């Protein structure tokens, strides 16, 4: 079981959930909740599409959702930036600004998932380019980023990133932690229903 799922269960347990009553066996005090359980509960939860996809990525390790999640996160980051009154990084170059927000969104996802998925291989650990397939140079799909790497990933100068966008990026990470809150609340409610029925 992945660490994220264990953490999810620990958080839900802290909210007073009883897994054994919910029909999930507990071994050595650690309740079991399969990826299918989580995916099923997320699918029925009344949460935003991006929270749903994010939940699948984080708690069931379903990496097929990344492309759609990237797009939705890009939109969400742009909306958040507008609300904060942040100017686009490249006024007069819409395409570049859009790419910046796409990349920023991906950094947010990586950080929230807590696995710093490698951008080269999309977290698979295997690099594919045309007919070439080789093990990626990252640590099995994970690659924590330094500030200079973050700046490069978003295609802005290091100084621009360090003095302006790093703080905003952290505000985005904070903002989108609401996905985890949405997910935990929805799953807790779902398990509560199990216990009542």
Residue choice 136, 154, 156, 186 for contact with Zn ion (CB under 5 A): 136
Nearer to Zn ion, 140 or 192 (CB): 140
Per-residue 3-state assignment (H helix, E strand, C coil) for 58-89: HHHCCHHHHHHHHHHHHHHHHHHHHHHCCCCC
Pairing outcome for strands 126-129 and 30-31: unpaired
Nearer to Zn ion, 38 or 138 (CB): 138
What is the rounded distance in angstroms from the CA atom of residue 193 to the CA atom of residue 187? 10
Residue choice 17, 66, 138, 186 for contact with Zn ion (CB under 5 A): 138
What is the rounded distance in angstroms from the CA atom of residue 61 to the CA atom of residue 79? 27
Shortest distance in whole angstroms from residue 121 CB to Zn ion:
3
With binding defined as CB under 5 A, does residue 51 bind Zn ion?
A: no
Contacting range for Zn ion; rule: CB under 5 A; set: 76-84, 137-145, 151-159, 168-176: 137-145
Count of residues near Zn ion by CB under 5 A: 5
* Length of the chain measured in residues: 197
Shortest distance in whole angstroms from residue 165 CB to Zn ion:
24
Shortest distance in whole angstroms from residue 176 CB to Zn ion:
23
Between residue 106 and residue 125, which ones bind Zn ion under the rule CB under 5 A? Answer: 118, 120-121
Shortest distance in whole angstroms from residue 66 CB to Zn ion:
13
Shortest distance in whole angstroms from residue 103 CB to Zn ion:
16
With binding defined as CB under 5 A, does residue 75 bind Zn ion?
A: no
Give the phi and the psi of residue 153 in degrees, each rounded to 5: -60, -35
The separation between CA 16 and the C-alpha centre of its own chain, rounded to angstroms, equals 25
- The candidate with the shortest Cα–Cα distance to 142, out of 166, 121, 171, is 121
Chain residues binding Zn ion by CB under 5 A are 118, 120-121, 136, 138
């Amino acid at each position: 079981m992945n660490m994220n799922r264990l953490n999810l269960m620990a958080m839900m347990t802290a909210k007073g959930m009883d897994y054994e009553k919910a029909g999930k066996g507990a071994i050595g005090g650690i309740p079991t909740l399969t990826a299918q359980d989580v995916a099923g509960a997320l699918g029925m939860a009344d949460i935003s599409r991006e929270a749903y996809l994010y939940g699948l990525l984080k708690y069931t390790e379903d990496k097929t959702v990344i492309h759609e999640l990237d797009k939705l996160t890009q939109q969400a980051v742009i909306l958040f930036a507008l609300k904060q009154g942040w100017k686009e990084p490249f006024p007069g170059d819409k395409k570049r600004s859009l790419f910046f927000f796409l990349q920023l969104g991906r950094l947010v996802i990586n950080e929230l998932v807590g696995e710093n998925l490698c951008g080269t291989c999309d977290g698979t650990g295997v690099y594919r380019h045309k007919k070439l397939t080789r093990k990626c140079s990252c640590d099995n799909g994970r690659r924590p980023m330094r500030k200079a790497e973050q700046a490069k990933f978003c295609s802005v100068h290091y100084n621009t990133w360090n003095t302006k966008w790093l703080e905003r990026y952290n505000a985005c990470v904070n903002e989108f932690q609401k996905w985890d809150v949405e997910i935990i609340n929805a799953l807790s409610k779902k398990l509560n229903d199990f216990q009542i029925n």
